[in-house]
Amino acid sequence: MPQIDFRQLMDSARISAVHLEMRDTYGVGDEADDFERWRATGDRDVDPGSAYWTPWVELISRAHARGVRVRRARVVSEPVTEYIRYEHAGTPVNLFSGEEVRWLPRRLAATLLLPGADLWVFDGRTVLFNHFTGNGEWADPGMELRTEADVVEGCVHAFEEVWERAVPHDEYKIR
């Protein structure tokens, strides 16, 4: 199976890139140091120029500069997990980069038919599924590309349904 290059997918987007996140916890991997510091102090790295954030900020800023609309919707259980609190604390950098971010309490998603995995949809034509283990680490394989019209259409529809119900980041209060 060929290696999937997320950065190449994002750099080739011309119209839109949407991200649907549905887990309450993720393995922290490259976030481990920042996560532990946040747990100990409550301070999260929100410097867009930091070594941690710069690659993401540059990637999303390039997309935004080309006119790509980048949206992220997070479906979360309430009260939220410690990891979701951590994500929420870092979201200002996503916004700074040009992303739009919304939060949907899981109880408000109960009547939606959602995919079984987190995903990205690029230009409404390509779906990148993100596969995780039960404890939130990357599965093997961790990513799967799909372009079948019915799969893409279903994922686009699911994202838009979540987006319509979700609360913009600046209005979402952590519970």
Q: CA–CA distance from 23 to each of 2, 84, 145 (Å)?
A: 26, 9, 20
User: How many residues are present in the chain?
Assistant: 175
C-beta of residue 36 within 8 angstroms of C-beta of residue 91: no
pLDDT in tens, 132-142: 999 889 999 99
With respect to residue 139, please indicate whether it lies within any of the assigned structural domains: yes
With respect to residue 1, please indicate whether it lies within any of the assigned structural domains: no
List strand residue ranges (DSSP E) for the chain, in order. 16-21, 69-76, 99-105, 118-122, 126-132, 138-146, 167-168
Q: How many domains does the chain have?
A: 1
Model confidence at 41, pLDDT cuts 50, 70, 90, reads: very high
Residue ranges making up the domain that contains 167? 6-171
Q: Which two tokens stand for residue 12?
A: 């080739």
pLDDT in tens, 76-126: 999 999 999 999 999 999 999 999 999 999 999 999 999 999 999 999 999
Task: List the CATH number of the domain containing 126.
Answer: 3.30.870.10
